[in-house]
Homo-oligomer: A and B are copies of this chain.
Amino acid sequence: MDWFTERQSKGLSLSIGLKKKLFEGNSKFQKISVFDTIEFGRMLTLDDKVMLTERDEFIYHEMIVHPIFQMLKKCENVLVIGGGDGGTVREILRYKDVKKIYLVEIDEMVIEVSKKYFPNLGKYLNNKKVEIKIMDGAEFVSKTNENFDVVIVDSTDPVGPGEILFSDKFLKDVSRISRNIVSQTESPFLLKDFIKGYHRKLRKYFKRLFYYIVPIPTYPSGTWSFTIGTNENLKLKGKIELKYYTPEIFKSSLSIPPFYRT
């Protein structure tokens, strides 16, 4: 049996058993691969890092979307930065009052690959509410004159192309076009100092943060975090119950163990 191995940190690696490789290509930005795995269904990797597996992607996608959406008073115009696989858009489309989703993905090949190999994610990108822009998310945000009810940063790691999406300048630009931002914020076990720094920047532009922790088996250290920044008076509420998300689970994920506090 072949294995795909991701070096998650200096001394930690996760390996996933493979049935076969379904695709490998090099876009302008990164190496993109799709595998069929022994236990996790199909898996998408970018530069040899796990982006999603069919078996646990719902945890990530439910938890990046529903906490903020369940708190928003209004959610008509949404901006997703990254998210070319379509999973985040799939969850957003559960909200019938959403009128328009801009998806700004830097790498067109991610979208093509997802539509072909991950129909339960990619097909949602064909929805008529979705407008796809192939460009750099930070550049889009710095130039647009539109306003959004929320900006969702569904990015890769804060190294390489994803780095700018955690910068002071980007957050300032986001705060000009939206009162709400959600970002994936990496592993609190491996990158607590990064998260701490990001929160410090975020607080300059958003009055209140919701920092929450979610176990995601195929992500580095199995423990992931997300952060919402808001200038609205958001309140915990919500009724929706999905495979992972429930109002109670979101509330619980906001309890941060002392060891992980920023």
Contacts A/B (CB < 8 Å), 27 sampled: A1-B11, A3-B13, A5-B15, A9-B39, A10-B17, A11-B18, A12-B15, A12-B16, A12-B39, A14-B14, A56-B189, A189-B217, A213-B215, A215-B222, A217-B223, A241-B258, A244-B258, A244-B259, A245-B257, A246-B255, A246-B257, A249-B255, A249-B257, A251-B252, A251-B255, A252-B253, A252-B255
User: Which listed residue (B40, B242, B254) contacts A11, Cβ 8 A?
Assistant: B40
Rounded to whole angstroms, the CA-CA distance of A253 and B257 in the bound complex is 11
Q: Are B17 and A38 in contact (CB under 8 A)?
A: no
Q: Shortest 5 CB-CB distances between A and B: which pairs?
A: A222-B222, A11-B38, A11-B17, A252-B252, A11-B39
Copies in the complex: 2
Q: Quick check: is A37 within 8 A (CB to CB) of the other chain? A: yes
Number of interface residues of A (CB under 8 A): 44
CB of A229 to closest CB in B, whole Å: 22
What CA separation (Å) do A223 and B219 show in the bound complex? 11
Task: Tell me the minimal C-beta distance from A190 to chain B in angstroms.
Answer: 8
Task: Give the chain B neighbours of A15 by CB distance below 8 A.
Answer: 5, 12-15
Which residues from B are CB-within-8-Å of A239?
A: none
Q: Give, as a whole number of angstroms, the nearest-CB distance from A157 to chain B.
A: 17
Flag if A259 contacts B246 (CB, 8 Å).
Answer: no
Does A139 touch B at the CB level, under 8 Å? Answer: no
Asked if A235 lies at the interface with its beta carbon under 8 angstroms from chain B, I say no
Question: Residue A223 contacts which of B10, B14, B222, B251 (CB distance < 8 angstroms)?
Answer: B222
Residue A243 at the B interface, CB < 8 A? yes
CB within 8 Å for A14 and B13 given contacts A255-B249, A257-B249: yes
- Within A208-262, the residues touching B (CB, 8 Å) are 213, 215-217, 221-223, 241-246, 248-249, 251-255, 257-259
Known: A11-B40, A12-B17, A14-B13. A242 touches B222 (CB 8 A): no
Task: Given contacts A216-B222, A243-B257, A252-B255, list 4 more A-B pairs with CB under 8 A.
Answer: A1-B11, A10-B17, A13-B17, A249-B257
A residues 149-203 near B (Cβ < 8 Å) are: 189
